[in-house]
A and B are shown apart, each in its own frame.
Chain A
Amino acid sequence: MATTRRNFLRLLGGASAALAARLDGPPAFAQAGPVKIGVLAAKAGVTAPVGESGLRGTQFAVDRINAAGGILGRRIELVVEEESNPKDTVERFRKLALQTRVDVITGVVSTGVGLAIGPVAEELKTLWLAWDATTQKGVEETMPKPRYSFRSVDNEAEAVMASILTAKHFKGKIKTVAGINNDYSYGRDNWAAFLAIMKKLGMGVTPVVDLWPKLGETNFTSHVAALGQARPDLIFCSFWSGDAPILMKQAHAAGLTATIRFVMTTAGGVHESLKKAFTPEGMILGYNSMYFEAPNASPLLREFVRWHQERFKEWPNYESDHAYFTLAAYRAAVEKAARAAGGKWPSPDQIIEALEGMEVESLSGKRSYRADHIMECSFFQGLSTYRNKHDFVTVDPLEVMSTRQIQKPSGLGLYEWINSWKA
């Protein structure tokens, strides 16, 4: 981990060395020079680990693509800018589009930032392939029919899958539920989706307490006391950052993990920090759209996990795969559109058309973009277990669901869709 920046400089150095090398030979393509790809990645604050993970997936993808000769013979040059607050990030997006004149921009994790960038991508006619940043409420209102934005999966997909698994594993065993979720749209939406699905699936559960710590809270002793007092049969939690292990640790210390079932929809984002010492077995644990230790992992995932472990001494998480997919899809779309355009480098419009419906092999398996520019992929959750070689929990059995099952289809509202399920 201490080498983050150094690796990054190496990456940039590699990119510029590649550029220098390119200048020696004749341009293989009419469009000379490297393909410039702008990346907006968080480097500070709560989203920094997620941004870091996305950068690693980006680095892996670029290394592979460049090693294979680039995109249509043009090597990729990365231009990394920071994702911070919406206003500044929009400025950096503009800079990448207008000044650096990149071919495509990837990245962005926070929904707030994503909502601000959506209209700007349309205005500048700049292709933006988002890593994440898609809590539904705002997206439905401000980015109804984007042309230049390609968006990630619905943020509620993990809550939908976890709710279905809750019904599968715990039906009849739970009567009362409690929620502890961060006090912003993601946390609120996840808890609301969970309750709606509990009702739809006839679970007959009563919510006894819902707690709303702010994002970034590092002390949950009072929350844990309140949960202990309410004594629910199940605690639903959508934490995805450093607060997840802190909550588990303090809940375990207060004796909650012994008697109460847990659902952690997204804590797989910080899976290495969920140590066996304080994380119970049998808890529903979600890894979002990539699971590093999938039993039937593809050779590509195995290669990435090995590369990641050797380089960073860590096991990777899902944001790497979002990032990898955006680049793999872009490359495939450019090549497909070029074939249709008689071998010429395609225009942005041609690339957009090729991206719609584009399916490529990503780290987690096949992934695609729907016609409405939303990702389709698989989600990975399961019951936590100690049966592994690590000091943290993994899941077994692993359950895999496609976003075709757990993400609302194009044109339907989330609750409209949930209510349309057949019991």
Chain B
Amino acid sequence: MLGGVFHAAVLFLAAAGLQLVFGVQKILNLACGSFYALGAYFGVSLVTWALGAGVPPSLFLGVLILGGVLLAVIGPPVERLLRTISDRDESFQLLLTFALVLMFEDVIRFLWGTAPHQLGSVYLLYGQLKVGALTIPVYNLVVIAAGATIAAAVGWLLTRTRFGRLVRAAAENPRMAEALGIDLARLYSRVFTLGVALGTVGGALVIPATAAVNEMGIELIVEAFAVVVIGGLGSMRGAFAGALIVGVLKAVAIATYPEVEMLAIYVIVIAVLVLRPAGLFARAAA
């Protein structure tokens, strides 16, 4: 169960980036998976470097989050590129963002090679929690807490701040928003960068528990899309609920009937598509 929630926390961050960008800019950004993979690789390098430079190991979580945020600098240029096709057919967006996925894969291969990269021992630095016969790494709980905190923070940002009001206005009616004096180009750039940061921070956060492998981005996109279909495209609450459903369902399937691990998720996806084609939270856009 907890394993499922851990998985859900990571899935949420990646799917949230996808949702935010789609909700506001109507760009279906497949490259969200690449940002996740880049965050993971960059996180490994940054923490390895930081530990070598004498940063106390217990601060590695801070280093990882910082790395994820720093890496979001790739957001504006990528957004600038995507803007060139923002008013074209959706298939162009899919093609271009998929091309980005392939290019980022090559970038990773060029910079980090093909062998898996990982952080050896920091995973257990925060200890393990024993609950009856169960042993839970505290770091898993940290990631779950971080996912929940980020979800709350993004929710607050979108509903309670001036930036959030502008974002929602632009999502609702971009022409009107522009007419009222909102600098759409700047807003889009910021929103996209926030979306990138959700992905890169997600990748950086998960890396102590796993290893960075080149295909992790594509793997995640597939599941993120299941999340998005279940939750409803463009909805933040949908991303949250969808990630929880996918993560927990997978865990339950593995614990009870492992053969249907993948099938279970797609059965739900199909059910949602048939019964509620717009997803569970389609109306609560951005």
Whether the Cβ atoms of B116 and A270 lie closer than 8 Å is: yes
CB distance from B178 to the nearest CB of A (A): 41
> Which residues from chain B contact A272 at a C-beta distance below 8 Å?
115
Q: Which residues of B does A touch, CB under 8 Å?
A: 1-4, 6-7, 10, 105, 109-116, 118, 120-121, 123-124, 128, 130, 133-137, 139-140, 206, 209-211, 213-216, 219, 250-251, 254-255, 258-259, 261-262
Per the 8 Å Cβ criterion, residues 258-291 of A in contact with B are 270, 272-273, 275, 277-278
Whether the Cβ atoms of B115 and A43 lie closer than 8 Å is: no
Whether the Cβ atoms of A210 and B258 lie closer than 8 Å is: yes
Whether the Cβ atoms of A1 and B113 lie closer than 8 Å is: yes
CB distance from B113 to the nearest CB of A (A): 3
Q: With A223-B254, A254-B136 known to touch, is A46 a contact of B113 (CB < 8 Å)?
A: no
> Which residues from chain B contact A48 at a C-beta distance below 8 Å?
109, 114, 214
> Which residues from chain A contact B10 at a C-beta distance below 8 Å?
219
Whether the Cβ atoms of B135 and A218 lie closer than 8 Å is: no
Partner of A277, one of B4, B121, B251, B262: B121
What are 9 sample pairs from A and B whose C-beta atoms fall under 8 A apart? A2-B113, A49-B116, A216-B219, A217-B219, A219-B209, A223-B3, A228-B133, A270-B115, A273-B118
Whether the Cβ atoms of A278 and B121 lie closer than 8 Å is: yes
Whether the Cβ atoms of B258 and A209 lie closer than 8 Å is: yes
Partner of A226, one of B113, B128, B135, B254: B254
> Told that A211-B261, A221-B2, A241-B116 touch, could you supply 10 new A-B pairs with CB distance under 8 A?
A5-B110, A49-B114, A210-B258, A211-B258, A212-B261, A241-B213, A242-B211, A242-B213, A250-B210, A255-B128
Q: Which 9 A-B pairs have the closest CB atoms?
A: A1-B113, A221-B3, A255-B135, A242-B116, A277-B121, A242-B213, A253-B137, A222-B251, A222-B3
Q: Which residue of chain A has the shortest Cβ distance to B122 in the bound complex?
A: A277
Whether the Cβ atoms of A218 and B210 lie closer than 8 Å is: yes
Q: Which residue of chain B has the shortest Cβ distance to A49 in the bound complex?
A: B114
Whether the Cβ atoms of B120 and A221 lie closer than 8 Å is: no
> Which residues from chain A contact B4 at a C-beta distance below 8 Å?
221-222
> Which residues from chain B contact A371 at a C-beta distance below 8 Å?
none
Q: With A49-B115, A249-B123 known to touch, is A254 a contact of B135 (CB < 8 Å)?
A: yes
> Which residues from chain A contact B109 at a C-beta distance below 8 Å?
4, 43-44, 48
Whether the Cβ atoms of B214 and A44 lie closer than 8 Å is: yes
What's the Cα separation between A245 and B123 when bound, in Å? 13
Whether the Cβ atoms of B211 and A246 lie closer than 8 Å is: yes
What's the Cα separation between A2 and B114 when bound, in Å? 9
What's the Cα separation between A132 and B140 when bound, in Å? 38
CB distance from B211 to the nearest CB of A (A): 5
> Which residues from chain B contact A1 at a C-beta distance below 8 Å?
112-115
> Which residues from chain B contact A391 at a C-beta distance below 8 Å?
120
User: Does A130 make an interface contact (CB < 8 A)?
Assistant: no
Whether the Cβ atoms of B214 and A226 lie closer than 8 Å is: no
User: Does A311 make an interface contact (CB < 8 A)?
Assistant: no
CB distance from A217 to the nearest CB of B (A): 7
User: Does A70 make an interface contact (CB < 8 A)?
Assistant: no
What's the Cα separation between A212 and B259 when bound, in Å? 7
Whether the Cβ atoms of A52 and B114 lie closer than 8 Å is: yes
Whether the Cβ atoms of B209 and A222 lie closer than 8 Å is: no
Per the 8 Å Cβ criterion, residues 206-248 of A in contact with B are 209-214, 216-219, 221-226, 228-229, 241-243, 245-246
